[in-house]
Amino acid sequence: MTVLSPRTLAEACSAAASNPNADLLAGGTDLMVEVNSGHRRPTDVISLGAIAELREWSIGEDRITIGAGVTFAKIASGELATAAPALAMAARTVGSPQIRNAATLGGNLGTGSPAGDSLPVLAALNASVVLTSVHGQREIPLSEFCVGPKRTDRQPGELITAVRIDRLNGPQEFCKLGTRQAMVISVVSVAVVADTSSTSVRVGLGAVGPVPLRAPEAEAFAAEAINWSGQTSVDTETCRRFAELVRDAARPIDDHRSTAEYRRHATGVLAARALRRIFP
């Protein structure tokens, strides 16, 4: 029974290599729920909170690198919010202020819940996940990282160390629907981001599939429909068609939080609104 608190990434990788079945503890906001309920009894824990490298970020010309240990409170404001506004909008909806102070981007990925609030934005921003172990580092697209509900491609001994996302020129929007004004699990969430440089629109969907989804047909349609050089306002018909195509990309289920039918409907409505907001 141990709690290891490595202070460097190298130490952490060694610890993970020698305890491949250890529970990795970041913000604790998912792991401790399982522990408190008795569903998980950790024997070895590697606490990642003391590793300064994981709490750093850098904003490059084309890509933003965010350390896995950066909390949602940090993402929700400041320069990260300016560089990735949709991610900041999503970060603001993660749990409560208490949760946002503790919960990390890496943790959200590690849990890999379909309702994870950051995931649809990461999908829209072409995120890649950096995994590090004693054997080195690999960087894989989010679509390869998320393999199913709460299932990821992280291998024993590997740590999620960073996330890289596109830095775009253009407006971004994120909408999350739940049945309370705050502190609510997502019923549907939709991210729509535009890039004027590449004249592209990208869509990420949360809680309407086993993994975060994109809407390629809707994205292609919007890229085509938008007059990138001149007046960027979108008309009602474009929004309607875009909504339809996004809705078709959703693969929702019925559960105690909502119905598949409503989720599909709301996906389209939110997509249209997001598009309307970014091209008013």
Partner 1 sequence: MSSPTITRTGSSHRIGESAPRPDGIPKARGEFAFSSDLWAERMLWGATLRSPHPSARILSIDISAALAMPGVATVLTAEDVPGLSSFGLEHADQPVLASDVVRYQGEAIALVAADHPDTARKAVAAIRVEYETMAPLSDPRIALDATPIHPEGNLVRHLVIRHGDLDVEGEVQVEGSYEIGMQDQAFLGPESGMAIPTEDGGVELMISTQWLHVDRDQVAACLDLPVDKVHLTLAGVGGAFGAREDVSMQVHLCMLALRTGRPVKMVYSREESFFGHVHRHPAQLWYRHHADRNGRIVKVECRLLFDGGAYRSSSAAVIANAACFSMGPYLVPNAHVDATVVRTNNPTCGAMRGFGAVQTCFAHEAQMDKLADALGMDRIELRLLNALEPGHELITGQVITGTAPVAEVIRTLAAHPLPPAPDSITDSRLLPGGTGRTTDYSDVKRGIGFAVGFKNLCFSEGFDDFSTARVRVDGGIATVKCACAEVGQGFVTLAQQITTEILGVERVDLAPADTSIGSAGSTSASRQTWMSGGAVHAAATAVRDTLIARVARDEGVDITVLELVDGVVRSLDGTINISIVELTTAEPVEEEIEFHHAPTDELDENGQGNAHVSFAFSAHRAVTDVDPELGLVRLVDIATSQEVGRVLNPLQLTGQLEGGTAQGIGLALMEEIIVDESRVRNPSFTDYLIPTMLDLPDLQIAAIIEEPEPGAPFGAKGVGEAPTISSTPAVVAALRNATGLALTRVPVRPEHIALSADHLDD
Partner 2 sequence: MSDLVSYRLNVNGQDRTVADGRLGESLLYVLRERLGLAGAKNACEQGECGSCSVMVDDELVCSCLVLAASAEGRDIRTIESLAPEGELSYVQQAFVDAGAVQCGFCTPGLIVSVHDLLERQPDATDIEVREALSGNLCRCTGYGRILEAVRIAAAERLADGSESRA
Q: Decide which of partner 1, partner 2, none touches 101; Cβ closer than 5 to 8 Å per partner kind.
A: partner 2
Q: How many residues of this chain interact with partner 1, rule: CB under 8 A?
A: 34
Which of partner 1, partner 2, none has residue 236 at its interface (CB below 5 to 8 Å by kind)?
A: none
Binding mask 155-194 for partner 1 (x = CB under 8 A): ------------------xxxxxxxxxxxxx-x-x-----
Residue nearer to partner 1 on the CB measure, 70 or 115: 115
Task: Copy the structure tokens of residue 98.
Answer: 């208490």
155: exposed, middle or buried (Cβ count in 10 Å: 0-12, 13-18, 19+): exposed
Of the residues 16, 64, 73, 92, which one makes contact with partner 1 according to CB under 8 A: 92
Q: In what order do the strands lie in the sheet with 63-67?
A: 57-59, 63-67, 159-166, 128-133, 136-141
Cα(247)–Cα(264) distance, rounded to whole angstroms? 6
Binding span for partner 2 by CB under 8 A among 38-46, 59-67, 200-208, 265-273: 38-46
5 lies in the binding site for partner 2 (CB under 8 A): yes
- Residue position matching structure tokens 């299932």: 151
**Is 113 one of the binding residues for partner 2 (CB under 8 A)?**
no
The interface with partner 2 within residues 161-220 (CB under 8 A) comprises: 181-183
Q: What is the distance between the terminal CA atoms of the chain, rounded to a whole angstrom?
A: 57
Per rule CB under 8 A, is residue 212 in the interface with partner 1? no
User: Of these partners, partner 1, partner 2, none, which one is at the site of residue 17 (CB under 5 to 8 Å by kind)?
Assistant: none
Question: Residue 136 belongs to what H/E stretch?
Answer: strand 136-141
Nearer to partner 2, 92 or 214 (CB): 92
DSSP string, 65-133: EEETT-BHHHHTSTHHHHH-HHHHHHHHTSS-HHHHHH-BHHHHHHH--TT-TTHHHHHHTT-EEEEEE
The minimum distance between CB 158 and partner 1, in angstroms, equals 28
Residues in the chain: 280
Comparing CA positions, the residue from 67, 92, 61, 59 lying closest to residue 163 is 67
Q: What residues line the site for partner 2 (CB under 8 A)?
A: 1-3, 5, 25, 27-29, 31-33, 35-37, 40-43, 45, 47, 49, 73, 95-99, 101-102, 181-183
